[in-house]
Amino acid sequence: MLTVREAIQKRRSIRSFKQVPVPDEMILEMLEAARIAPSGSNAQPWRFVVVTDAREKRELRELCFDQAFVEEAGVLFVFCTDLSVYSGRTRRTRMQEMIDAGIFANRELDDSRIQRYTQMPDESDTSFYLPMATANTYIAVEHMVLTATALGLGSCWVGGISDLKAIRDMLGIPRGIYVLGLLAIGYTDTEPKARPRLPLDEILLRPFPPAVDVSQ
């Protein structure tokens, strides 16, 4: 099994898959990696549809700008986010679970946290909750990506969706659940080189390590 560092370094976006099914145990292992991901207030907004059926994969390819690897993948995870997790009732349930698990262990603080929850916007405030829910869901999806790498599978995120509504209708996704993208997974025999990245100094807003001041 790869270390986390090895999986991070080995991962590439793979856009060519062998026509070999991905075993259910591996699919379940990737879902488990998503399930245990961290999320703000432990809200766990991620939701998935697992697609292995050839006809459904073909349809999804058409709805994703005809990207061929979408149909070729052994399995597609359609990942979604569910804003109902931010309803006052569900948030209080999650908070109580965390308190019961002894996470905060400070009675006064616990009471004030619960109090604060009652003052948060209602889950219908999508402009407030959708970015939060999306960020949390992407964390879970990256857990799946790294698990796929560790299992010897290739993966590619698919954000290029040409018809979101058609995907919703096709899969019967209920209101309040937002389709964010697809994760294509499968066996591959390609080993692409690392793709270009910005140098470290372009992503740091101030130098690290800090420059040593030799004047003193």
Ligand X SMILES: Cc1cc2nc3c(=O)[nH]c(=O)nc-3n(C[C@H](O)[C@H](O)[C@H](O)COP(=O)(O)O)c2cc1C
Return the residue of 23, 38, 40, 160 that touches ligand X, per CB under 6 A: 160
Q: Is the CB of 8 or the CB of 101 nearer to ligand X?
A: 8
Give the C-alpha separation, 207 to 201, whole Å. 7
Helices and strands, counts by H and E, the chain: 9, 4
Single out the segment in contact with ligand X by CB under 6 A; choices: 9-17, 94-102, 126-134, 201-209: 9-17
Give the C-alpha separation, 11 to 135, whole Å. 20
Q: Which two tokens stand for residue 4?
A: 């986390």
Q: Is the CB of 99 or the CB of 180 nearer to ligand X?
A: 180
Residues 96-155 that bind ligand X (CB under 6 A): none
179 binds ligand X (CB under 6 A): no
Return the residue of 13, 16, 41, 134 that touches ligand X, per CB under 6 A: 13
Maximum Cα interatomic distance, the chain, rounded to a whole number of Å:
71
Q: Is the CB of 8 or the CB of 20 nearer to ligand X?
A: 8
Return the residue of 5, 89, 159, 175 that touches ligand X, per CB under 6 A: 159
Return the residue of 51, 63, 73, 158 that touches ligand X, per CB under 6 A: 158
Query: Any idea what DSSP says for residue 122?
Result: P
Beta strands in the chain (DSSP E): 46-51, 75-82, 154-158, 177-186
Give the C-alpha separation, 136 to 178, whole Å. 13
10 binds ligand X (CB under 6 A): no
| CB 174 to ligand X: min, Å | 23
157 binds ligand X (CB under 6 A): yes
CB 150 within 8 A of CB 2: yes
Residues found near ligand X in the complex (CB under 6 A)? 12-13, 15, 67, 156-160, 181, 195
